[in-house]
Structure 1
Amino acid sequence: MEPRRINRHSAVAGTIIWIVWQLLSSNFAPLVLFVLSPLVLVPLLLAAVVDAHEDGPVMRALSWAQLPCALLLPLGLSLEPGAFALLACLPWAGWTALAAFEGLRRMWAMWRHGGRHGGVRGLYDAELAIAAGLSFPVIGSGWLLCDRLAIEPLGFSPLIVLLTAVHFHHAGFTLPVSAGLLGRAMPQREPWRAAAVGVVVAVPLVAIGITVSPLIEVGASLLTATAASIVGIGMLRRATILPRAPILPAVLSALAGACLLAAMVFASSYAIGEYTGTPWPDIGSMIQLHGAVNALGFGLLGAWAWHLSPPASPAKLVATD
């Protein structure tokens, strides 16, 4: 079975599991948003990334292993922190490690294509965002394992530890992969390429800023909001250039773009307010507003838009290494 079909079946099964999990238990909002990514968003976006030119052994392995590795996450996040909760999350951590390997392989291929002017030039491409999107979730998985062991790295609160895991599965996966796919889909290279690279720089910079400096944090948050807003505008614009039939991908793309723009308003307001000492909305409202709009609005609707109307990948990314 081809990887795209595998990923579609996995997304449907994952959606059912995610819904049933909500019905059978009362879950903390960040946990709900976290599990949405591995069970639903990851397979949908993997299917959009993979085509006949990228059906290499690693991507095929990622497609086959995604659902089995994500299946135990609802259980692991329903248990109290401890050894059993950790064991249930380890398969997903292993999957993200393999995805990070594929992401780094792609970055190395881009570096090699930089030509005689230097490898860095090869990295200035929207495809960098797809490679980074495959790589970032392994960081989130590390923080998830810390959460399941009740470890508080660097003295961060349990909530921040969990939100960091969520950050690297949504801002660290859904947003970069969507930015990279937008770079494939749009006829012009700029500003979509700049936005994609901006997302790649901004996502880890936010985490660094939280750890090191409030000034870096607010700057990185505004950079993320700016780059993501360009992605949102691009998805709105893509809705106008998709073929009229079928119309569903265009509608989903437009709704996802609008949700991303709304989510970035909340993110910018919170970042500036936190730096000045008057954050708005507060952290609880941010989880409910920014998190839900970003994950369910932009993430879920956007993932289905890309899945139903995926752009072709560049020939240079044929997995022959």
Structure 2
Amino acid sequence: MIVIVHAVVSLGMLVVLPLGLRLVSSGTTLRRWWWVAAVPGVLSLWLPRGPVSITLASIYFAGTGVLAIVGLFAAWRVLGEGRTGKAVAIATAFGTPAIAALALVAERASYPLFGFKLSVLSLTVAHFHFAGFAAALVAFLVAGAVPGKAADLASYSVPVGTFVVLLGFFVGDWLELVGAAILTAGMWLVGWCLLRLRAGADRLTRVLLATSGGVLAATMVLALSWALGHVVDTPYLPIEWMAATHGIANALGFALCGLLAFRRLDLAHDANKADPVAA
């Protein structure tokens, strides 16, 4: 399982995060030096636990700290436009990698942070790169691209669900279930908005949007059943299978395809503006 988790996190650090930063103007400068933090972060995953991996993970943690600060300024600018949901979403997207990085430092140091097992800390690293950064960023993007209440509600419910799940780690399984339910509802709204964006897009972009939105229909059921199974006696997948199904599908199917689709939409929009015939 740990190989799968490390591979997914590496994808998040080296591909998903830089791609996401490219899609928001506030991340342009940050993207240029992101590799200074991301490469040490990835190396720390694959090296044995100890002083070297701790140092590399700490460099990554410092980079995510800068990202979180940039996110606060970005949120403040968006808030000035009167879009509170978008501000919450962008602050969440830019802030949650720091939670992941803190868990990474503790896991590389073999330190059970807040009493959590090292395996739980490893999963936390993956969770907050995708259920944190990628999910909140896509919620931010759909709120700016899709008119209507569904997109606005998603920009609130995804961040709220993410942080209620985090709080549930400390309070109890019942609160984690509440957070999973809120997050699932928010992600389904995101998926619906992604499907609506297909109109007018080229074929490959439509496929990417359909894949990203469609994957959420299944993967969030798995997340909800996992949380429910820890509160009442209902079946749920073991953690190894959750990593291999829910984790990989969300990383590749939702996050990567969704952000690639938005990148293609951005490029098409720029081309139309530059082409007087298309305009």
Q: Scaled by the length of structure 2, what TM-score is found?
A: 0.90
Q: Tell me, what secondary structure is at the counterpart of 1:125?
A: helix
Q: Which amino acid aligns with 1:173?
A: F
Matched, 1:124 2:92: no
Alpha-carbon offset, residue 204 of structure 1: 1.4
Counterpart contact for 1:49–1:310, Cα < 8 Å: no
Q: Which amino acid aligns with 2:176?
A: E
Deviations 1:155-199 (A, max 9, x none): 21111111111111111100000011011111x231111111111
Structure 1 residue ranges (4+ consecutive) displaced by more than 6 angstroms after TM superposition: none
Q: Tell me, what secondary structure is at the counterpart of 1:309?
A: helix
Tell me which residue corresponds to 1:159. Answer: 119
Tell me which residue corresponds to 1:227. Answer: 186
**Distance (whole Å) between structure 2 residues aligned to residue 223 and residue 234 of structure 1:** 17
* Count of aligned positions: 268
1:37 counterpart (12, 16, 26): 12
How has the CA–CA distance of structure 1 residues 66 and 242 changed in structure 2, closer, same or farther, with 3 Å as cutoff? farther
Q: Scaled by the length of structure 1, what TM-score is found?
A: 0.78
Matched, 1:108 2:71: no
Matched, 1:268 2:224: yes
Matched, 1:148 2:123: no
1:73 counterpart (41, 52, 66): 41
Tell me which residue corresponds to 1:253. Answer: 209
Q: Tell me, what secondary structure is at the counterpart of 1:170?
A: helix
**Distance (whole Å) between structure 2 residues aligned to residue 96 and residue 66 of structure 1:** 9
Counterpart contact for 2:75–2:90, Cα < 8 Å: no
Counterpart contact for 1:137–1:172, Cα < 8 Å: yes
Tell me which residue corresponds to 2:272. Answer: none
1:86 counterpart (32, 54, 69): 54
RMSD over equivalenced CA pairs, Å: 1.9
Q: Which amino acid aligns with 1:48?
A: L
Counterpart contact for 1:130–1:181, Cα < 8 Å: no
Matched residues, percent identical? 29
How has the CA–CA distance of structure 1 residues 44 and 242 changed in structure 2, closer, same or farther, with 3 Å as cutoff? farther
In the alignment, structure 2 segments of 5+ residues that lack a partner are 270-279
Deviations 1:36-56 (A, max 9, x none): 111000111111222xxx5xx
How has the CA–CA distance of structure 1 residues 150 and 136 changed in structure 2, closer, same or farther, with 3 Å as cutoff? same
**Distance (whole Å) between structure 2 residues aligned to residue 129 and residue 286 of structure 1:** 26
Q: Tell me, what secondary structure is at the counterpart of 2:266?
A: coil
